[in-house]
Structure 1
Amino acid sequence: MNQKRPMLSVTEALEILLNAAGTGQATEIVPTISANGRVLASAQYSNLHVPPMDNTQMDGYAVRSADCRGGAALLPVIQRIPAGLVGAELAPGSAARIFTGAFIPVGADAVVMQEQTQVEEIDGQTYVRILHEPQAGEWIRRQGEDIREGAEILQAGTRLRAQELGLAASVGLAELPVAKTLRVAVFFTGDELTMPGETLRPGAIYNSNRFLLNGLLQNLQCQVTDYGIVPDSLESTRETLRKAAQEHDLIITSGGVSVGEEDHIRPAVEAEGHINMWQIAVKPGKPLAFGEVNRVSSGAAFFIGLPGNPVSSFVTFLLFVRPFILRCQGVQDVAPRSVPIRADFDWLKADRRNEFLRVKMNEHGGLDLFPNQSSGVLSSAVWGDGLVDVPAGTSFRKGDFVKFIPFDSLMY
């Protein structure tokens, strides 16, 4: 007699997915200004110091500190140095008017900010009285203080944000090598599904997952082809899988991954390829499939089948699809940020599956539980700030600290 295969743990399922994802996509070169959200394909190094020369942090006067000993030194102002110009060497016993960001002239070793000076005109010559005794190096940013020439500034696999783009630009990198955009096909099964704007017939529901998954994939910079709602039949499902596999790296479906008579995803994928993983000990979202769909020419497209309930689809995408896509793009650290936070509610019924609860931060620094944790209540994902990761067989009481995963660490 065949024994039922035990469900995979969340950790086991992730390991299978990430191992299959490999080490990253093919790469391309894009303008730095257009690289926001892309994944860096190779480490980047600086070919210059930042800043390239000593410069001033303040508007004021560049001086030789030795000329200002004893206080109230009176020095002739012999040059003016705005940002973008290089001044002449500073002669002993003189000062240079200097503005924030300007390079320190040779000979000067300190800047006195203008609030600590007094300007005087004597016989047509401008003098500055130094009302402060500066120390060597005062208000000077040193050459290479931010970045040294030859230093690695960005690691391979970095998901590029605005700050990384600014850093790359600061060392003159006009272009960056990035992983090519992942091509993802999506389609949705269920004769009950109706698009917003259409009349909702008896027994039908609006297809919220279509909008949910498209948005999540766009957040991850994927190139998405949406095949829409596919009729509930084995042949229609197989035909769409064949078509999608030809020009896509990954196929994602929603619905039809259970074991009912109207659930055609598994037999369709097995007919067109194979299933590597089926059912995970996670709540919400147990029926999740992972495999490959063969291409007519050669090779295969990855396949992930998500459950149809909207919260199940949402949570399993965040837990499994997001890290899989990031790893395909070359990101190594795909684990979401989590923090221990106090639960302000009891959770006393331990489940055999790893549960993920929708919660919200309250004004007291704790977490409140959405009262209805059903997998069909999508409003819980809008109300909540994130998920509490409850390991299998675990319960806790109000006041215990739990593992909180903010939504803002799961969306990008």
Structure 2
Amino acid sequence: MSHATLTVDEARARLLAAATPLAETETLAADLALGRVLARPLVAAVTVPPLDNSAMDGYALRLADAADGAWLPIGQRIPAGHPGGALKAGDAARIFTGAPVPEGADTVVMQEDCETDGDRVRVVRPAKAGANIRRAGEDIRAGQAVLAAGQRLTPARLGVAASVGATELAVYRRLRVAVFFTGDEIVMPGQALAPGRIYNSNRASLRGLLGQLGCEIVDLGQVPDRLDATLAVLEQAAAAADVVITSGGVSVGEEDHVKAALERLGRIDMWQVAMKPGKPLVYGRVGAADFLGLPGNPVSAYVVFCLFARPFLLARMGAEVGPVKAYTVPAGFDWPKPGKRREYLRARYEDGRALLYPSQSSGVLTSLAWADGLVDIAAGATVKAGDPVAFLPMTELLA
């Protein structure tokens, strides 16, 4: 069956449209939920802050009482966590960061702007009414949805959950992803490296990428370059996981058996993308499982994972998926020869410009270890040093 070569944007849109979010959820202790995807909105049961409190160590007072450098008696001392009494007319209160602002005070003046004399204080620098007071509910109001379903639980979001007292969170179950690897030329690290063989770097990279996403990994290891072996492992993988991912064997060579096995056991919905590195990208179905076939070259596999597999897996996990953020920066390089496909160049943002790794070969994995982003160059485009280019930070591609 023939499949048209898609643009990058068409391929991404098609994959996201095919990504059915998980239905199964579980309730986890909030302390164990880092990286998981929230299945239900989190609604605050409390107001944050619960009452007006001081943003500084200083003195709570009525600003009008402190006019013209008037000395005010310090009537009370209010540490954090200990509500004080109402402020008497003409008094000030010694107050500390986070402490409740006493009734009657309209300003907190930080201690650096005050002068003390025993149990008296006066303001010695101009102060603004209402300064240094964090108002009740200025962050969160009771009844407010503070986290939305589909958000991945980052440390900051877990902090928000803790701030409203949440101890448990409803999350989608972990996505099960089965992986296997083809190619008689690759061996596992630790094995003898015979002539013509190379170590399997894609397994380490792919497991790391899946681990960062919080997927449950079913590793089926190395598969001989035979159709019968590929059929067997593909059937096993589809039965064990929600998504099956492999690298290599998805091209059109006589020894590329993954595509043939997929056509026999399931179906292929997408095959090629007009990009470099990484033209071969297979998406299909085997039984109830999705299948993603990545290129075999290490850089190609990594870049294709970041641009396509990652957003697809996030969508399958129930997470919200936005566009990849690109930043316009000056090129610190020349790219004089226009390419026929959209190209993603390993780059580093340094000294206010994007620099390229010297080799852009799809087999040079060290370029990815060096890079902190990709430069996105349209098909047919050329670049001169100083021209604006689109820079995709790895922090966006791997977040």
TM range (shorter): over 0.9
Note the 1:66-105 alignment, pairs <5 A: 66-75=64-73, 77-105=74-102
What corresponds to 1:37 in structure 2? 35
Number of residue pairs the alignment of both structures matches: 398
Matches of 1:348 and 1:116, distance apart in 2: 61
- SS at 1:69 equivalent: helix
Is the Cα contact below 8 Å between 1:25 and 1:329 reproduced in 2? no
Residue 377 of structure 1 pairs with residue 370 of structure 2: no
Matches of 2:354 and 2:128, distance apart in 1: 51
What corresponds to 1:329 in structure 2? 317
Which of 377, 385, 389 lines up with 1:402 in the alignment? 389
Matches of 1:112 and 1:374, distance apart in 2: 61
Matches of 1:115 and 1:348, distance apart in 2: 60
1:217 Cα deviation after fit: 0.5
Query: TM-score if structure 1 supplies the norm length?
Result: 0.91
1:141 Cα deviation after fit: 1.4
Note the 1:10-409 alignment, pairs <5 A: 10-75=8-73, 77-121=74-118, 127-132=119-124, 135-294=128-287, 300-363=288-351, 365-409=352-396
- Residue identity in the other structure for 1:320: F
Is the Cα contact below 8 Å between 1:31 and 1:174 reproduced in 2? yes
- Residue identity in the other structure for 2:172: A
> Which deviates the most, 378-387 or 346-355?
346-355
- SS at 1:211 equivalent: helix
**Runs (4+) of structure 1 moved beyond 6 Å?**
none
- SS at 1:288 equivalent: strand
Matches of 2:51 and 2:337, distance apart in 1: 64
Is the Cα contact below 8 Å between 2:344 and 2:376 reproduced in 1? yes
Distance 1:102 1:272, change over 3 A: same
1:390 Cα deviation after fit: 1.5
1:5 Cα deviation after fit: 4.7
Q: Percent identity?
A: 52
1:393 Cα deviation after fit: 2.3
- Residue identity in the other structure for 1:367: A
Question: How much is the aligned-residue C-alpha RMSD, in angstroms?
Answer: 1.9
Distance 1:97 1:188, change over 3 A: same
- SS at 1:115 equivalent: helix
Q: Structure 1: 5+ residue runs without aligned partners?
A: 122-126, 295-299
User: What does the per-residue CA deviation read over 1:83-118, in whole Å, with 9 as the maximum and x for residues that have no partner?
Assistant: 111112222233322211110122222223333444
Matches of 2:384 and 2:274, distance apart in 1: 23
Matches of 2:222 and 2:254, distance apart in 1: 18
Is the Cα contact below 8 Å between 1:326 and 1:334 reproduced in 2? no
Matches of 2:361 and 2:68, distance apart in 1: 77
Is the Cα contact below 8 Å between 1:358 and 1:388 reproduced in 2? yes
